Amino acid sequence: MWWKSWKAIEDKYVASYSSVMDFMDSQGIKWAMPAYMIYSINHYKEGSFSVDTTIYTLERGALGHDKKDLFTLEQKKAIAKFLQFMVEVGDEWVDAESAKTALDKIWGEYL
């Protein structure tokens, strides 16, 4: 179950480990975030808590417990676009209010 790349993380693991990023440092969040964002885009209508916890992690700045910002400018732009999409799909499927808060407070400057 140990992966060499985030691309190898299967959806079933993302769905099963919704709160794992709460226990990661910044490097771990940076590594896992793409898998969680892609999962969220592909499965937001299924009610998986992993979708909202991805948004909540970004709402807190995605810094991990060590509070380091390791994202590149391009990654920050991708995160901002992801959150914008989550706001657009709306409250019927995701916590759009938290996604908007994350954009307003942190990530919106990268749009």
Kindly report, residue by residue over 13-48, the tens digit of the pLDDT.
Answer: 999 998 888 888 889 999 999 999 999 999 999 989
Per-residue pLDDT at 95 exceeds 90? yes
d(CA 86, CA 75) in angstroms, rounded, equals 17
In the chain, pLDDT over 90 holds for what percent of residues? 66
Give the three-state DSSP class for 110.
Answer: helix
d(CA 54, CA 50): 6
Helix (H) or strand (E) holding 100, with range, is: helix 96-102
pTM for this prediction: 0.91
At residue 4 the predicted structure's pLDDT band, cuts being 50, 70 and 90, is confident
Distance in angstroms (rounded) separating the CA atoms of residues 47 and 7 = 22
Asked whether residue 1 carries a pLDDT value surpassing 70, the answer given is no
Residue 99's identity, in one-letter code, is A
* pLDDT the model gives residue 2: 67
Are 39 and 82 in contact by the 8 Å Cβ rule? The answer is: no
pLDDT digits (tens, 9 = 90+) for 60-75: 998 877 778 889 999 9
